[in-house]
C-alpha cells in the first residue's frame, strides 16, 4: 500500500506568500556561502542534499485529500479538499483516456473537506465512476449545495461522471475488492468519521477532525482499539496541547501530544501529523515535528514510534 498526500492543511488552503519565497531564497543563498554552480543540476543536487526541508519544501498547501494506492485498478481517496484538484489531474494523466473508478471516503462535509470536488477533473469525464462513501445523511446534499447557484457555475447534475453515494454504518466493516474499511465516529461539530483501511496485510488509519478527551477512559480505549497495530496513522494535530485544553477546547481538533499517546498505547508503527493549522508557517510546523519526535523519545517504551509531518506530495510505502 502506498499513501500519497495531495492536501494536508486544515480549515482552508494556504499558499506561500512572496515574502515566504524571498525568505527561503535568502536563507538558501546564505547557506550556499558563495559557492559557484556550473549547471542547474549541480545547484539542484546542492539544494536536495544539503539544504534543510523547510528551505526546499513547504508543508502546504491544499486542504485535506489523501490517496491510498493498493495495486487495484480502482482509486481510493479520503476527503475532497482542495487537494482533489491535483489528485484529479494525476488520475487523468495516469488513465490516459481510459475511464476510471474512484472510491471517495468522506470524513465529514465541512467546506475545507469538500471544496475540491467541483474542480475534480474526472467528474467531468464520461465513463468515469465515482463512489462517494460516508456516514452522514446529508453527504449528497452538501456536495450538491456547493455547486448550486450562485456558488458555482456548473450544477452537480451537469457532471459527466456516474456518481454514486454509498451510506456506511459506523463500526461495520465493508470489503471492496482488495480493501476492507471500517468507519468510526469521532468528536467534532456535526460529527466526523475516521477510517481503518486494511489491504495486503497493512493497516492505515485516517483520523482527522477529531477531538480526544483522554480523561474519558472509555473513549480513549475505543480509539486505542481502533488504532491497534496500525502501520500508519494520519492524525489531526492541528492545535497544541495548551490550546486544546483551554481556548480551543471543544473546537473539534486534537494535538501532537495526544497523537503520540494514543499511538504508543495502540502499538502503531508510524504517526503522521496532519490537518496543519493555517496560521502556522513551515518553521512552526517543523518545530512541532521536532518537539513531537523528542516527546516520543522521552516516553518510548519497548517499541519506537516513527513520527512525520504530512506535506503535499509526501508518499509513504507501507
Tell me the pLDDT of the chain (318 aa) as tens digits: 999 999 999 999 999 989 999 999 999 999 999 899 999 999 999 999 999 988 999 998 999 999 999 988 999 999 999 999 999 999 999 999 999 999 999 999 999 999 999 999 999 999 999 999 999 999 999 999 999 999 999 999 999 999 999 999 999 999 877 899 999 999 999 999 999 999 999 999 999 999 988 778 888 999 999 999 999 999 999 887 777 666 667 767 889 999 999 999 999 999 999 999 999 999 999 999 999 999 999 999 889 999 999 999 999 999
CA-CA distances (angstroms) from residue 163 to 31, 122, 139? 51, 11, 13
- The confidence score (pLDDT) of residue 214 equals 74
- The confidence score (pLDDT) of residue 186 equals 96
Cβ(120)–Cβ(154) below 8 Å: no
- The confidence score (pLDDT) of residue 244 equals 65
Q: For the domain 2-12+57-312, what is the CATH superfamily, name and number?
A: Ribonuclease Z/Hydroxyacylglutathione hydrolase-like (3.60.15.10)
Is pTM beyond 0.85? Reply is yes
- The confidence score (pLDDT) of residue 178 equals 81
- The confidence score (pLDDT) of residue 71 equals 87
Q: In 118-216, which residue ranges form alpha helices assigned H by DSSP?
A: 139-145
Q: Domain extents for the chain?
A: 2-12+57-312
Q: Which three cell numbers stand for residue 99?
A: 475511464
- What's the CA gap between 82 and 45, in Å, rounded? 31
Amino acid at each position: 500500500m502506498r499513501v500519497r498526500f495531495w492536501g494536508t492543511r486544515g480549515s482552508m488552503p494556504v499558499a506561500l506568500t512572496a515574502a515566504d519565497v524571498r525568505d527561503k531564497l535568502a536563507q538558501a543563498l546564505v547557506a550556499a556561502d558563495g559557492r559557484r554552480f556550473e549547471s542547474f543540476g549541480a545547484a539542484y543536487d546542492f539544494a536536495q542534499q544539503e539544504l534543510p526541508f523547510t528551505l526546499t519544501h513547504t508543508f502546504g498547501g491544499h486542504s485535506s485529500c489523501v490517496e491510498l494506492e493498493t495495486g487495484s485498478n480502482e482509486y481510493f481517496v479520503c476527503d475532497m479538499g482542495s487537494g482533489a484538484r491535483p489528485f484529479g489531474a494525476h488520475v487523468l494523466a495516469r488513465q490516459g483516456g481510459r475511464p476510471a473508478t474512484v472510491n471517495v471516503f468522506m470524513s465529514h462535509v465541512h467546506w475545507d473537506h469538500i471544496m475540491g470536488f467541483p474542480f475534480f477533473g474526472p467528474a467531468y469525464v464520461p465513463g468515469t465512476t465515482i463512489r462517494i462513501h460516508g456516514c452522514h445523511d446529508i453527504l449528497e446534499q452538501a456536495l450538491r449545495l456547493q455547486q448550486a447557484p450562485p456558488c458555482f457555475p456548473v450544477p452537480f447534475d451537469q457532471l459527466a461522471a456516474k456518481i454514486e453515494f454509498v451510506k456506511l454504518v459506523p463500526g461495520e466493516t465493508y470489503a471492496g475488492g482488495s480493501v476492507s474499511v471500517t468507519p468510526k465516529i469521532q468528536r467534532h461539530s456535526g460529527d466526523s468519521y475516521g477510517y481503518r483501511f486494511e489491504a495486503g496485510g497493512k493497516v492505515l488509519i485516517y483520523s482527522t477532525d477529531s477531538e480526544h478527551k483522554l480523561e474519558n477512559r472509555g473513549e480513549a480505549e475505543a480509539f486505542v482499539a481502533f488504532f491497534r497495530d496500525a502501520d500508519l496513522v494520519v492524525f489531526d494535530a492541528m492545535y497544541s496541547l495548551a490550546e486544546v485544553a483551554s481556548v480551543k477546547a471543544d473546537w473539534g481538533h486534537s494535538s501532537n501530544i495526544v497523537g503520540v499517546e494514543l499511538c504508543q498505547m495502540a502499538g502503531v508503527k508510524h504517526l503522521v501529523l496532519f490537518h496543519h493549522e493555517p496560521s502556522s508557517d513551515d518553521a512552526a510546523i517543523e518545530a512541532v515535528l521536532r518537539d513531537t519526535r523528542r516527546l516520543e523519545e522521552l516516553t518510548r517504551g519497548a517499541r519506537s514510534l516513527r513520527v512525520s509531518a504530512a506535506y503535499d506530495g509526501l508518499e509513504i510505502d507501507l
